[in-house]
Amino acid sequence: MRIMEFLCPEAIVIDLKATDKKAAIKELVDSLAKTNKIKDSNEITKTILEREKLGSTGIGQGVALPHGKTDAVKEQIGVIGISSNGVEFNSLDGELVYLIFLLVGPLDAAGQHLKALARITRLFKDKFFRQALRDAKTVKDVVGIIEKEDEY
């Protein structure tokens, strides 16, 4: 599975304004909504925030992977947000988050959802990949970095 199969490039946020988890999730969902690829941004935001109540998806090393499944989407879709100042995400390591990959999928696609999360996690473990994304200045840069890594 390749990230570009479900990443929505036109929704990528290079300069995330949010400083806390809830605002960051809302900002990314709102960015997806502007592309008309999702039906109900309020439902998606609620679904992801409900998932966060089970435990933070701030996995450490400046990365968060908020996610959820809902019937408000027909297919798996994701968006990346990059923050230069950091977002308080209640991360497992207690550090701020600079890279957020939000993923939402349909209720009936649990297997695909887990495969996508595993792929994202694998890529974000690479410190050079994380740094390249943090250094990206444009959406085109972000897409290029991901496409290059997606080959492996």
Condensed to tens digits (0 to 9), the pLDDT of residues 118-147 reads 999 999 999 999 999 999 999 999 999 999
Q: What is the pLDDT averaged over residues 86-102?
A: 96
Please give the Cα distance from 83 to 63 (Å, whole number).
10
Residue positions annotated with a catalytic role: 67
Q: Contact 97/83 with Cβ under 8 angstroms?
A: yes
Q: What is the pTM of this model?
A: 0.95
Indicate whether 16 pLDDT > 90.
Answer: yes
What the block records as the tokens of 69 is: 């499944």
Residue 37 pLDDT class (50, 70, 90 cuts)? confident
Q: Which of 5-9, 64-68, 108-112 has the lowest mean pLDDT?
A: 108-112
- DSSP-assigned states of every residue in 71-125: TT-SS-EEEEEEEEEEEB---TTS--EEEEEEEEE-TT-HHHHHHHHHHHHHHHT
Residue 69 pLDDT class (50, 70, 90 cuts)? very high
Please tell me the predicted confidence (pLDDT) of residue 151.
78
Please give the Cα distance from 35 to 58 (Å, whole number).
26
Domain 3-147, architecture per CATH: 3-Layer(aba) Sandwich (3.40)
Please give the Cα distance from 26 to 32 (Å, whole number).
10
Q: What is the pLDDT averaged over residues 57-86?
A: 95
Indicate whether 152 pLDDT > 80.
Answer: no
Q: Is 46 exposed, middle or buried (0-12, 13-18, 19+ CB in 10 A)?
A: middle
Q: What is the pLDDT averaged over residues 61-79?
A: 95
CB atoms within 10 A of CB 43: 17
Residues above pLDDT 70, as percent of the chain: 100
